Amino acid sequence: MKFTAAILTLAGIAAALPAPEIDLGDGVKLVRRAPRSAASRAARKSNPRLPSSAFTVEGVPTNDTQVSYSSNWAGAVLIGSGYKSVTGTITVPTPKLPSGASSSQTYSASAWVGIDGDTCSTAILQSGVDFNIRGSTVSFDAWYEWYPDYAYNFNGFSISAGQQIKMTVTATSTSAGSVTLTNLSTGKTVTHSFSGESNRLCETNAEWIVEDFEQGNALVPLANFGTVTFTGASVTTNSGSTLGVSGAEIMDIKQGNTVYTDCSTSGSSTVTCKYV
């Protein structure tokens, strides 16, 4: 996905402007989300899979068909067609500093559900929660995105470690849809709708992902997120059927020679990712 120099220049100017706020009422506002700025979307292609030649055992290439590796995605991806709505619920973890971390740097990770972005790279409809830690300070953000456009924060949607957040994304067409986040622990719900999007969905990928997202043109330092478990993970199709995660492809984050996650599915509706 390439951008012309003119587009990048305009995007850079837009990213430098103060983040606009849209008041949704009840104390909830939308603000443009800096970590997924114009610079980051110009640099990344949704889920950059690593080629099989990148995986070796004692220096010998191996074709591991059990797990696919990505530089920034971990979790489960179901590949099919006609996907309309994806949902899953997580218990918000308490992020920790990874081994050897600097107390003056921010470390982050994100958990989200989405449609497309794996085998379909034209667009992603996604929404989720970030976990951040800097020194002893922990913070959380809730956001939504129709990639490759900007992501936006739900400002005023409070999140704390240990709370349950239900995430749902719904495509009403290939160019329209909605996202809903519900804090099951507080009863608070936020929703945003999209329409007339020029980057169209394929409706062929359903995802439950823990991500090392980008800031600028580089991946953010990955937080030790412990364990993130998506429960009630399911996808409904345009024909009205409901599918679970059985048969989903497992993905783990591999950067350089280091694998940072260990993900798996259990039953038909649970996806678990552990920081290792």
Structure tokens at 199: 């980057």
What DSSP letter does each residue of 190-253 carry, written as one string?
Answer: EEEEE-S-SS---S-EEEEEEE--EETTEEPPBPB--EEEEEEEEEEETTS-EE-STTPEEEEE
Residues 6+ apart with CB under 8 A from 100: none
Instruction: Confirm if 32 and 20 have CB atoms less than 8 A apart.
Output: yes
Contact 217, 40 (CB under 8 A): yes
Catalytic residue among 145, 203, 211, 249: 211
State the sign of the Cα–Cα–Cα–Cα dihedral 221, 226, 232, 235. positive
d(CA 27, CA 18): 20
Please state the length of the chain.
276
What DSSP element (H or E) covers 9?
A: helix 5-16
User: Residue 187 burial (CB < 10 Å; 0-12/13-18/19+)?
Assistant: exposed
Q: Give me Rg for the CA atoms of the chain.
A: 18
Tokens of 123: 């667009």
227 half-sphere exposure, CB direction, 13 A CA radius: 6
Is residue 211 annotated as a catalytic residue, yes or no?
Answer: yes
Residue 241 has which token pair?
A: 């059927």
Q: Residues with catalytic annotation? A: 211
